[in-house]
Chains A and B, each alone.
Chain A
Amino acid sequence: MSDWERSSTARVTAPSRPRKLAKVPFVELADGRLQGVVSSGSDIERVYVSSVAAGTYAFACSTNNNRPCGGARGSFCNHIQALINEAVLQYGADRVARYLRVDIADGDIGAQTITAAMSSTRPPQADTKAAAPVFSRFLRHLAYLELAPTTAPLPEMQWFPPTRQVA
């Protein structure tokens, strides 16, 4: 076994990079999709739940009240494009491309090339069934701000050192 395999504190994922959250408060690579929540530009009460599936690039976009997004017909809407841009900021282009299974030469990899590569396959439109679970994952994510701190020690955190590597 290599040193990495014999390390208790091997780094598996790089920490998120800071980004502005106003437009896209939530993005994640989970359940085989790039998925997240995009704030509406016109209505402060409304958010869009957007997703792109890994491999097929099947995409979906609808409001939190399950109304379809007018822009997501036939091709990626602006919400999905914003979602990809912010995912690249948060996780780095490599990790996003790897997760979505987009094959791009190393030198060219970025939000634009990832979006273009997926668009060029004319991806299918997915149903909006995933919207509800994604939205509830967003609410769960927000709920982390409400949890109380503790001054009882958490010895398990010794396995989670910070790292200066960036995504």
Chain B
Amino acid sequence: MRADLLVENIAGLDEALTAVDAFDRALVTGLLRPQPAQAAGLTELANAVSGTPLAARVAEAADKAAAGSAGEDHFVALAAARTALLGSVHDALMARVAEASGRPRGAETAPAPGGRQGANLLAAARSWLSDLARAGWQGIDHDTVSGAAHVVSAMLPDPALRRLATLLDGLAAELAASCPGSALERIPARRWGDLWSRAMLLTLPGVADAPVTGTVTGRLLPLGIDVQEHATAVQAQVHAVFEPADGTAPRLVRASVSVPKPDTVVGAGLWQLLRPHMSLLAAVSDGRSMDLAEMPVTAEGDLLWSDEHARPSEPADAFATARVALPTAIDPATAPMDRHPARIAVPVFLEGYAAQRDDEALTFTVAGHPLAVDTDRIPAAGPLTPEAVAASGACIGLLRWDAGTYRVQPLAVETTVRKKAVAIHAGGWAGGTTDKAGVRSEKAATDAVAVLRERAGRLLRK
């Protein structure tokens, strides 16, 4: 990998992010009674998209918002402008990643979504988000935040609304923990700006759809597992190289499984909730490939996993896959809504680097250039530790970008333990474990879920 390209400046990037920041600052104080500084921030956002098809609608929305009279449609327009700007940032960052990794890009584009569902709930969500924009992050209190609860409860059971429900649930929990906003010492302006504008766009019917564009048959070679979680949801994503049975070019795919959860189910409890719904998790833990037959897939390379289309196959070492199959695997397309820097997670293979620890931060020096290592993203319920990463000689990771820099999130490393070469995977416990700490964590999680199920059985259906 050409790490030198990852530290070079990208033309126009700072300008685009400056406009995003200007809008984010307006959201900090809220748009109920905007001050001149906020009006300027809104104008800056509008100017940044003045050469695009959004120009007229966003200019109008910025005017209305600056006058304190923005309606829901105006907020949607502002969210769209912010999303478009970050889309351009995403594209520039991904062009650089493609150059650095040297892997082929797919020619496919993701189709525009369609369909409509839950119009009333979507409207209720939009209304709550508009209230947030008016209050501003500094103006939130328990009453403002609790408005999300009934919307989320009504949305969660409907799989078609799960994306927005999970997002709102995570955002509302953070806001609730941060109340009252007036007492906050610092505000995660970019983050909450991201979550707010994304939620706003997901309230438009059909935006959350990711249509199936076909099926795939062939061999799936796992690279590793990425875990994401907030207090009441967890998702595991397996990144893998897929080799079609028809001999066409191998491609990168993902397989995801997610579920809402009570906030007291943590650690190995996450794997316990997910494990029964995707046989692939056990296959990854066992170091096996899987044979897929007519598995549905989207243009973005997301397999819509169902166990009936998959069966365990030969053992497959993830590092062999990373060395041999990954370099020629085609990158999938990115859906319009997913063009965002935070969504970048590109599988990469690194070796021959020097690992350097400086306080808490770990850096790999790759071909003379520093690359930050995000060890905080390694799930606690797994055998991989920041220490093992620091002592490693080869690493499978996800290349990401946040707060101005590229960084690599380790999914697995090769290292030496007691003079023996071993591979340690972040998702090593996905299918279960005999590791002592892992068994303890599994037992604690089993007990927690048993208590909750007993309580639910006694109290819930009365």
A: residues with CB less than 8 A from B are 1-13, 15-22, 25-26, 29-32, 39, 44-45, 47, 64, 90, 138-165
Contact = CB atoms under 8 A, between A and B. Distances in A.
Interface in B250-272: 254-264, 266-267, 269
Given A157-B233, A157-B258, A164-B375, A5 B277 contact: no
B174 A13 contact: yes
B159 A152 contact: yes
B177 interface: yes
Interface of B: 17, 21, 142, 146, 149, 153, 156-157, 159, 162-163, 166-167, 170, 173-174, 176-179, 186-191, 194-195, 198, 202, 210, 227-233, 235, 237, 254-264, 266-267, 269, 273-274, 277-278, 298, 300, 302-306, 335, 337-338, 340-343, 345, 375-380, 386, 402-404, 409, 441, 444-445, 447-449, 451-453, 455-456, 458-460
B356 to A, nearest CB: 19
20 contacts: A5-B189, A6-B17, A7-B403, A8-B340, A11-B376, A15-B266, A16-B231, A18-B441, A21-B448, A139-B460, A143-B153, A149-B258, A149-B274, A153-B235, A153-B254, A157-B228, A158-B342, A158-B343, A161-B376, A162-B380
Contacts of A15: 229, 231, 266
B188 A160 contact: no
B163 A21 contact: no
Contact of A5 (B190, B257, B263, B298): B190
B188 A162 contact: no
Given A9-B342, A151-B306, A154-B256, A17 B191 contact: no
B261 A7 contact: no
Most buried by A among B261, B302, B335, B376: B376
Contacts of A12: 174, 177-178, 188, 191
Nearest to A149: B259
Contacts of B335: 155
Contacts of A31: 142, 146
B228 A161 contact: yes
A147 B254 contact: no
A151 B256 contact: yes
Contacts of B210: 152-153
B403 A6 contact: yes
A105 B159 CA distance: 48
B451 A9 contact: no
Contacts of B159: 148, 150, 152
Contacts of B263: 16, 141
B186 A5 contact: yes
Given A10-B188, A159-B342, A145 B453 contact: yes
Contacts of B237: 153
Given A7-B188, A145-B452, A155 B177 contact: no
A49 B337 CA distance: 43
Given A10-B188, A139-B460, A21 B256 contact: no
Contacts of B229: 15, 157, 160, 162
A3 B404 CA distance: 8
Contact of A162 (B21, B227, B274): B227
Contact of A18 (B156, B254, B262, B448): B448
B186 A29 contact: no
Contacts of A162: 227-229, 376-380
A163 to B, nearest CB: 5
B376 A164 contact: yes
B85 to A, nearest CB: 13
A154 B166 contact: yes
Contacts of A2: 186
Contacts of A16: 231, 263-264, 266
Contacts of A13: 173-174, 177, 231
A9 B378 contact: no
Given A5-B186, A154-B256, A163-B376, A21 B264 contact: yes
A6 B453 contact: no
A139 B459 contact: yes
Given A15-B266, A31-B146, A143-B460, 12 more contacts: A9-B191, A25-B451, A144-B156, A148-B159, A152-B302, A153-B256, A157-B233, A159-B194, A159-B198, A159-B342, A163-B377, A164-B386
Contact of A8 (B173, B194, B230, B449): B194
Contact of A151 (B142, B278, B441, B455): B278
Contact of B380 (A11, A138, A140, A164): A164
A147 B191 contact: no
Contacts of A156: 163, 166-167, 170, 195, 198, 202
A21 B444 CA distance: 10
A141 B260 CA distance: 10
Given A144-B261, A159-B191, A20 B273 contact: no
A8 B264 contact: no
Contacts of B194: 8, 159
Given A16-B231, A158-B228, A162-B380, A25 B455 contact: yes
B163 A160 contact: no
Contact of A154 (B189, B258, B409, B441): B258
A147 B264 contact: no
Contacts of A148: 157, 159, 259
A1 B189 contact: yes
